[in-house]
Amino acid sequence: MEPSQLARFEAATLPHLDAAYTLARHLTLNQHDADDVVQEAFLRALKYFGGYRGGDARAWLLAIVRNTSRSWLRRERGDAGVVEFDEALHSEAIDDQHPEAEVLRAVDRERVREAVDQLPLEFREVIVLRELQGLSYKEIGEISGIPVGTVMSRLSRARRRLEGALGAGKGGLP
């Protein structure tokens, strides 16, 4: 590969290293795994860079990070989180109570992090992309390989689930 090609690749992708790391960290739930996934994803991206035709480099890179994370989880952990996600089924498990907004705001940070970590992978993915990285539904759809309508319903269910988890045992209203 020409040195100028590598320079072009680095200019397009390295600005999004933090975003890539944030996503990998939340999908693998482990710092060292996130390191490895990010490296593998960037090497893959470099290999596919010839096919990259400009456009949103962040979404392009994050899609590769997302896919690499999933194949990593499957390979390294035989991870159940990656298998057979059933949106409706996963949504049913919600503790059907509605905590007050003030209760939600008062939940300590450690418990919020735990609640996010315990989300099914598909929910965690859209939450991280939306709430931590501020991506649009269209971008999230491109990264996760789902239609915008699915992004919308999945995010809504993920939020509903977080609401239930954060309010649990905190005396919310029925």
Partner 1 sequence: MSGDDFEAQLSAYIDGELAAGPAEAVATHLRGCAACARAHERLLAVREALQASLPPLRAPEHLRMDLRRALRTAATTTVVRSMPDWRWLAAAAVLVAILVPATWSVATRRAAGQFLTGELLASHVRSLMGTHLTDVASSDQHTVKPWFNGKLDYSPPVSDFAGRGYPLLGGRLDYLAGRAVAVLVYGRRQHVINVFLWPAGGGPSGGSHAVTRQGYHMRHWTTSEYEYWVVSDLGEAELGEFAQLLSQADSAARPHASP
Per CB under 8 A, residues contacting partner 1 are 1, 3, 5-6, 9-10, 14, 17-22, 25, 31, 35-36, 38-40, 42-44, 46-47, 72, 75, 98-102, 104-105, 107, 109-110, 112-113, 116, 127, 130-133, 136-137, 152-153, 155-156, 159-160, 162-163, 166
Nearer to partner 1 (CB atom), residue 81 or residue 97? 97
Nearer to partner 1 (CB atom), residue 47 or residue 83? 47
Shortest Å distance, C-beta 35 to partner 1:
5
Question: CB-side exposure of 70: number of CA atoms within 13 Å?
Answer: 17
Shortest Å distance, C-beta 136 to partner 1:
7
Nearest CA to 64 among 51, 79, 77?
51
- What DSSP string runs through 101-125? HHHHHHS-HHHHHHHHHTS-HHHHH
Is the CB of residue 81 less than 8 Å from the CB of residue 117?
A: no
Shortest Å distance, C-beta 30 to partner 1:
13
H or E stretch at 50: none
Nearer to partner 1 (CB atom), residue 89 or residue 101? 101
Is the CB of residue 150 less than 8 Å from the CB of residue 141?
A: yes
CA distance 135 to 122: 16
Question: CB-side exposure of 97: number of CA atoms within 13 Å?
Answer: 16
Shortest Å distance, C-beta 62 to partner 1:
13
Nearer to partner 1 (CB atom), residue 40 or residue 81? 40
Shortest Å distance, C-beta 172 to partner 1:
9
For the record, the structure tokens of 129 come out as 């992309």
- Can you tell me whether residue 76 is helix, strand or coil? helix
Nearer to partner 1 (CB atom), residue 17 or residue 89? 17
